[in-house]
Amino acid sequence: MTWKRGSRLKLVSEAEASSPICAIYDEVRHILGVSAVPILYQAYAAVPKFLELHWEAFRPALNSQTLFHMGERLAAETYTRAQSYFPIPDLRLLHERDSSANSDAAGLVAALGYYQQLDPLLVLITAAQMQAFDGAVGSPSDGPENESPNPMVQAPDLVGSERAGTGLQRIWEERRRALDLAFVPDEHRAAAMWPGIYQQCWAALKDLVASPLYADCQYRIGESAWGMVRDLPVAVETEISGLVEAGLSGEEISVVARVNESLFAAFTGMLLDVTFMRIACEGGSRTEGRGVKTENKQEVRAGIQAA
The string of DSSP letters for 240-266 reads HHHHHHTT--HHHHHHHHHHHHHHHHH
**In this structure, is residue 114 part of a structural domain?**
yes
Residue 266: predicted pLDDT: 95
Residue 210: predicted pLDDT: 92
CA angle 169-173-175, nearest 5°? 120
Residue 104: predicted pLDDT: 78
**In this structure, is residue 96 part of a structural domain?**
yes
Identify the domain containing residue 127 by its residue range.
65-142+155-229+254-305
Give dist(CA 289, CA 258) in Å, integer. Answer: 43
Q: Please state the domain count of the chain.
A: 1
**In this structure, is residue 119 part of a structural domain?**
yes
Helices then strands, each counted (H, E), the chain: 12, 2
Residue 49's contacts (CB-CB under 8 Å, 6 or more residues apart) are 246, 247, 248, 252
Q: CB of 263 within 8 A of CB of 39?
A: yes
**In this structure, is residue 247 part of a structural domain?**
no
**In this structure, is residue 80 part of a structural domain?**
yes
**In this structure, is residue 109 part of a structural domain?**
yes
Per-residue pLDDT of the chain (307 residues; tens, 9 = 90+): 333 444 467 899 999 999 999 999 999 999 999 999 999 999 999 999 999 999 999 999 998 889 999 999 999 999 999 999 999 999 877 655 555 555 678 889 999 999 999 999 999 999 999 999 999 999 887 655 555 567 888 999 999 988 899 999 999 999 998 888 888 999 999 999 999 999 999 999 999 999 999 999 999 999 999 999 999 999 999 999 999 999 999 999 999 999 999 999 999 999 999 999 999 999 898 653 334 343 444 434 434 443 3
H or E, element range at 194: none
**In this structure, is residue 244 part of a structural domain?**
no
Residue 140: predicted pLDDT: 83
**In this structure, is residue 28 part of a structural domain?**
no
Q: What are phi and psi of 144, to 5 degrees?
A: -65, 145
Residue 86: predicted pLDDT: 95
Q: CB of 156 within 8 A of CB of 198?
A: no
